[in-house]
Amino acid sequence: MDSNLLKVFVAVTHQKSISLGAEVLGFTQSNVTLRIKQLEKILGHALFYRVPKGVILTQEGEKLYPLALEIVRKVEEATLKMQNISHQALLRIGTSQANATIRLLPFLEQLQNDFPGIEFELFTGNTPDIKEKLLEYKIDIAFIPGNPKHKDIMVLNQFDDDLFMVEPKNKKSSNTLLGYRSKSTHLDFFQEYHKQQGNLEFKTMILENYEVMLGCVKAGLGKAFISKKIVKKFGYINDLKLTKLPKNLCDLDTKLVCRKDHKPLILDYLKNLSLD
């Protein structure tokens, strides 16, 4: 059986849609439909029910899914290991948006200087999505805030993000918490911090732009929990009030992590890397 057929089956299952599965894979919808039909013919069973909003697995499809997922992962893992058998040829990196803003470019420049033959693939997103990609072997290393809290993940390095609560300097702030993403480790902490302080009436505003976020803080539209490095980067360091929260409450420094069973060949280099 062609493992590529199983890869298509897994993608469609994840997306619950043939068209979305095709988009993820970079195939045409007709190509994906043809491959699903080929797999169903080989196995002698229908794998999906077609429904108005996409597809759902049949009982046979549900039985196949965990087996297919394991095979696809093993094939991808074997391919990567053979590519990197003598040197790190490809490094797939996942990063939170805050880390991308602070240190991703210096990190890439340093690696390119020290390992000019490495190719890079980059993935940015919220922490849960990045962790999921790491656990599914879709990326090799990841920058995530705080403790990864997973038995299969190991911490390679740690970087100080110098996090502060930022408020307007010369005016009263509205009771609004500003965040970059709705699924954000920093925003989750900031919301919980205010609840613990007895503030249960705050609103939340998502902006997805750090410069806009800082401008809104300056204008008194809310407050944020953000790295001092980002405040400096966008030129707001003299316009805002910065308050350091107790370290024991907010251990959210960025960790560079990998899977315990999928360590990059440049492991020792990454452990000793200094970017701050």
Q: Are 47 and 39 in contact (CB under 8 A)?
A: yes
Residue 140, burial from CB neighbour count under 10 angstroms (0-12, 13-18, 19+): buried
pLDDT digits (tens, 9 = 90+) for 116-173: 888 899 999 888 899 999 998 889 999 999 888 899 999 999 998 899 999 999 889 9
Rounded distance between C-alpha atoms, residue 211 and residue 126, angstroms = 18
pLDDT digits (tens, 9 = 90+) for 216-263: 999 999 999 999 999 999 999 999 999 998 876 777 889 999 999 888
pLDDT digits (tens, 9 = 90+) for 184-198: 889 999 999 999 999
Best CA proximity match to 266, nearest among 86, 73, 129, 26:
86
Q: Which domains does the chain have, with CATH numbers?
A: 3-69 (1.10.10.10), 90-160+253-271 (3.40.190.10), 163-243 (3.40.190.10)
Taking phi over 0 as left and psi of -120 to 50 as alpha, with beta for the rest, 16 belongs to left
More confident site: 40 or 84 = 40
Site of tokens 């803003």: 101
Rounded distance between C-alpha atoms, residue 127 and residue 247, angstroms = 21
- Which segments of 151-224 does DSSP mark as H helices, in order? 185-196, 210-218
Q: How many residues does the chain have?
A: 276
The string over 159-194, giving b where at least 16 C-beta atoms fall within 10 Å of a residue's C-beta and e elsewhere, is bebbbbbbbbeeeebbebbbbbbeebbbbbbbbebb
